[in-house]
Homo-oligomer: A and B are copies of this chain.
Amino acid sequence: MNYSVSEEDYIKAIYHLQRDQQTVSTNALAAELKTRPASVTDMLKKLKTKKLLHYRPYQGFKLNPEGRKVALGIVRRHRLWEYFLAEKLKFGWNEVHDVAEELEHVGSRKLIDRLDEYLGFPRFDPHGDPIPDNAGKMHVKNQVKLTELPLNITARVSGVADQSADMLELLKHRHIAIGTNIEVIKKFDFDQSLEIKTGPGIFFSISKQAAQNIFVHYELEKEFRCIAKRSA
């Protein structure tokens, strides 16, 4: 039930590498963790005996349901701390990761659930990634570059790829920050610049170059409800 810092790092890394149900390779995981393939093999054996993953030598591996559950717990802690650091302690979006990497290993369930409540049950971290709730459920995430956002859909800024001073200056001038609501009104084919709206009566245009560095996310609430209804 309780895992070491190292074990948690492996579990989380495997979780991130196996998009959906793909199998993960030893080398890929070693690269991700900046360690050696031999070390990975050692840990795989350990995690297998702890019944957290499917693993057949030379054949790759992936988390089993229990492993995914554990991984979601770690992701939840990581992202809640990121949210806390950015929202309450005013850390920059690019500074939160490393500190959260340490805080995520503090295991107390009560701590995390209370923190979640204190923060108002946020559903996305400062990078726009969804935060699992205390049952491990995540909201639908649909993160795209601003250039790919469909017209007339209100999305929220979730992150910025290029965090240079120049880019940040531009964002600051336009009052764009994490969480800002944003909507694409029109796309100009000539230079692929975008006419956007960030609030009532606030319209301006933004270059393709800037837009492709801005990530936004939006929830597919309606579609999701329909599916839920159908299956009910």
Task: Please list the residues of chain A having a beta carbon within 8 angstroms of any beta carbon in chain B.
Answer: 85, 88-91, 95, 98-99, 102-103, 106-108, 110-111, 114-115, 118
Contact = CB atoms under 8 A, between A and B. Distances in A.
Contacts of A85: 111
Nearest to A106: B102
Contact of A114 (B91, B106, B110, B114): B91
A108 B96 CA distance: 11
Interface of A: prevailing SS = helix
A154 to B, nearest CB: 31
21 contacts: A85-B111, A88-B118, A89-B111, A89-B114, A89-B115, A89-B118, A90-B114, A91-B110, A91-B114, A95-B110, A98-B108, A99-B106, A99-B108, A99-B110, A99-B111, A102-B106, A102-B107, A102-B108, A103-B103, A103-B106, A106-B106
Contacts of A106: 99, 102-103, 106
Nearest to A117: B89
Nearest to A5: B5
